[in-house]
Amino acid sequence: MVLKGLMENPDKKFILVGGKGGTGKTTSAAAIAVYFAERGEKTLIISTDPAHSLADSFDQPLGNKEPTRIIGVNGQLYGMEIDPEQASGDFAEILNMSGANTDDLANTLGSMGFDEFKDMFATMPPGVDEALALAKVIQFIESPEYQDYKRIIFDTAPTGHTLRLLSLPDFLDSFLGKAMKLRVKINNMFAGFKSLLGMEAQRDNTIEAMEALKKTIMKVREFFQDSKRTEFIIVTIPTIMAINESERLAEELHIQNIAVNNVIVNQIMPENLDCKFCKARSAGQAQNLEYIRNLFVQFNLTEVPFFDREIRGVPALRIMGSALFESK
């Protein structure tokens, strides 16, 4: 099976490609983007992976603020790499602008003996940076100047990051709910002291800022769950570790109501009787492939061979795109 059905469904504007590190997810995302663009669909590919390798896949530099035209693809393909740390920094800036004085609160908590809460407001929860990067991307791709893109491909962070991102809204409900209650109590207590001393209480907007963060991340999850426009493609390889991780990702995506129809199985070794190593590896992969076919029976599996050269640059990505979309 191939990804041909995806090409024939123009409603799937947003395609997220993810999986374990080392499975070729970035290469797969880049190859999909090249295939769409060379068939006349204006395409944007965006990396939100903190360890950027998208520019390496295309063998050319990419911007992090504006899309860069990919050379060698008929003017229809653009790419960019979003820096999650920068997005997280932008949020910290918003917190400061809101009047939230997290340093003062942390020091106050420490002086009162609440050491376990000292860093509560100074540390961003795991996954927030990726969520904010995606939120930033969604904000600008929904603006009028990006409406002429027919397809927008996301090269997402590895599985662990993605799973943390998906669980963030629930995490924020519990963690931030408790943290904000604690903050309100402490603020009220100090407001009472200041009132007794005739000092004016300062407005603290941290709670509003955190609520805004939660709404932003909820918007990211709603974007993921828009099954008409959005699809998640899992990329794996025929090794037990990669298969197990892909199974966990598929289960979590199902729980979160995120559409997954396609699984790419990458780096399949051909049988080579003249090479003992190749023969042994091919035999091991054959067992794992059978396991994958039974495990992911509800998905469309696209099996991609192991290429004898590095897939880098548009010509090589074009070859891989053909393997992904065209019948053998």
Domain holding 76: CATH number?
3.40.50.300
- Token output for 85: 């740390």
The answer to whether residue 254 sits within a structural domain is: yes
Q: What is the pTM of this model?
A: 0.80
Which range of residues forms the domain containing residue 12? 4-84+149-168+230-325
- The reply to whether 317 falls in a domain is yes
Of 285, 163, 283, nearest in space to 234 by CA: 163
Instruction: Choose the weakest-confidence range: 19-23, 29-33, 106-110, 319-323.
Output: 106-110
Number of domains in the chain: 1
> Does the structure show a pLDDT above 60 at 216?
yes
In a domain, 119, yes or no: no
Tell me: the pLDDT tens digits for 294-317?
999 999 999 999 998 899 999 999
Among candidate residues 49, 129, 155, 204, the one labeled active-site is 49
In DSSP terms, which residues pair with 232 in a beta bridge?
A: 16
Which range among 4-18, 21-35, 100-114, 208-222 shows the weakest confidence by mean pLDDT?
100-114
Residues belonging to the chain: 328
Q: Would the pLDDT of 113 be above 90?
A: no
119 part of the active site: no
Sign of the alpha-carbon dihedral angle for 220, 223, 224, 225: positive
- Structural domain contains residue 161: yes
More confident residue, 282 or 232: 232
Residue 177 in domain: no
* Model pLDDT, residue 95: 46
Kindly report, residue by residue over 36-94, the tens digit of the pLDDT.
999 999 999 998 877 778 999 999 999 887 899 999 998 899 999 887 666 555 555 54
Distance CA 61, CA 124 (A): 30
Distance CA 170, CA 183 (A): 20
Could you give the CA distance from residue 23 to residue 286 in angstroms, rounded to a whole number? 17
Round the average pLDDT of the chain to a whole number and report it: 78
Q: Does pLDDT of 109 surpass 50?
A: no
DSSP category for residue 41: -
Q: Is residue 30, in this structure, part of any structural domain at all?
A: yes
Tell me, yes or no, whether 243 lies in a domain: yes
Q: Determine how β-strand 14-19 pairs with β-strand 230-236.
A: parallel
Strands 151-155, 14-19: pairing kind: parallel
71 in a domain, yes or no?
Answer: yes
31: Cα within 13 Å, side-chain hemisphere: 23
